[in-house]
Amino acid sequence: MLRGEHAIITFDGGRAFPDRLTRGKHAHYLTYAKQMLALYRSGAGTKRQELHKSVANILSREPDCDPRRVSAFCKLLDDASEFAADPRGAAAALRLRVFSFAAKYHPLVTTPDKIFERSEQEVKGLLAAGIGRPWQEIEPALYADVMSFQPLVSFAGYETEQAFLSRYNVAQLQACLYRAQEMTVTARSDFKTVLRYTKLARLLHDIRRTGESEYRIDLSGPASVLHETRRYGINFARFIPALLSCRDWTMQATLPTPWGTRARVTLGSDDGYTSHLPAPQEFDSGIEEAFAKKFGDEQEGWKLSREGAILHEGQTTFVPDFIFRRADGAEVFMEIVGFWTPEYLEGKRQTLRRFRTHTVLLAVAHRSVRKGAKIPPEVIVYKSALKVEPVLEALRKVGESPG
């Protein structure tokens, strides 16, 4: 993914438009993309900074190329690459050894004379002899821990130049929405899939039914989250290509402008963006996965299910993370809250009150509970992991009669 500094956004008439390469206006970029991919495919052993310079040279004669576009291409190419790293700190240790040795002969000169007797070349020879490696090997190893000097090992790449430019367009859309304050998605035929992606990303959301088979999902944007903004922003960005893989939806997001106003980004499933995502994983994080594994298929007569049940109460919709079912027909729903704001938690409690005819458990992260707050019986507080026993204890309190 791109970072915020790579985002190229045009503001016009209260709307925001992320940078996008189109077939009509930017068909010649296919040639540039082909050259950039060839550069990385044949670039094993080349330092990162040299690859970036070559990418800049490829685009240097293009009048319609913002420097941020060049940096964005480099970032996407790097993301598909493996570079040699220095995880054990060998470069730092080597620098300390080399500089400590050279300090004894300071100052070094190119040509020795009666005042400065030691030449740079002579000291390099002494160093190489002491370390037992030729200087030609020592010099590039001195800064192996600096990203710019890391050599390319391999390039997984993109299948075609079209796929590379398509990824660029999606990445610019993601980078634009890093700054989003809120987003509204109206989903129809693929509502369950859109909602599943929303929950997989652990995004703060509220669901409303706006028609017989139409739902509005209101999402809190990264700019509205009080805690763990960076992590939430990454999850928010990852949601975008997931949304693009779905059908029959429209989206509107608002973000601040440089002038202190707000602008909207509008998008729909028919706008031509192409997602690169495979099918989603079953779980969004270790919390749900670990709990499901520990609980197993059944405990104390309760069977665990992740079926996408949709509960309606008027226009309010609730889709829990887990459903516990008992042979006598009793059902208990459970929702897990990860990211949060006080307003979001209060809204979630209000939603649960609307569904009071159902038994709903709410698992809340410990950090979201205010000091001294009274914990309702339907709320389970967890720290790093949701344990099975507190959930079983809550299930035991369910009456013997169905429901």
CATH (domain of 376): 3.40.1350
Q: Quick one: pLDDT at residue 37? A: 98
* Residues in the chain, total: 403
Rounded mean pLDDT, 141-166: 91
Name the residue range of residue 312's domain: 286-396
| Residue 52 falls inside a structural domain | no
Work out the mean pLDDT of the chain and round it to a whole number: 84
Domain boundary among 260, 279, 298: 279
Q: Is the peptide bond before 402 cis (omega within 30 degrees of 0)?
A: no
Residue 232 structure tokens: 């939430």
At 230 the three-state DSSP class reads helix
| Residue 43 falls inside a structural domain | no
Q: Could you tell me if 370 and 291 lie in one domain? A: yes
Tens of pLDDT along 210-257?
A: 887 898 999 887 776 555 467 777 888 888 998 999 999 999 999 999
| Residue 135 falls inside a structural domain | yes
Confidence tier at 374 by pLDDT (50, 70, 90): low
Q: Could you tell me if 222 and 244 lie in one domain? A: yes
- Are the C-beta atoms of 283 and 289 separated by less than 8 Å? yes
Q: Quick one: pLDDT at residue 372? A: 60
Q: Quick one: pLDDT at residue 49? A: 95
**The pTM is what?**
0.71
Q: Quick one: pLDDT at residue 403? A: 45
Q: Could you tell me if 247 and 186 lie in one domain? A: yes
Cα 262–Cα 234–Cα 166 angle in degrees, nearest 5: 85
| Residue 339 falls inside a structural domain | yes
Phi, psi values for residue 233, rounded to 5°: -60, -40
The strand pair at 359-365 and 331-337 is best described as: parallel
Cα separation, 178 vs 265, in Å, equals 12
Q: How many domains does the chain have?
A: 3
DSSP string spanning 310-347? -EEETTEEE--SEEEEETTS-EEEEEEE-S--HHHHHH
- The set of residues, in sequence order, having a beta carbon less than 8 Å from that of 270 and lying 6+ positions away, is none
Confidence tier at 283 by pLDDT (50, 70, 90): very low
Q: Could you tell me if 292 and 260 lie in one domain? A: no
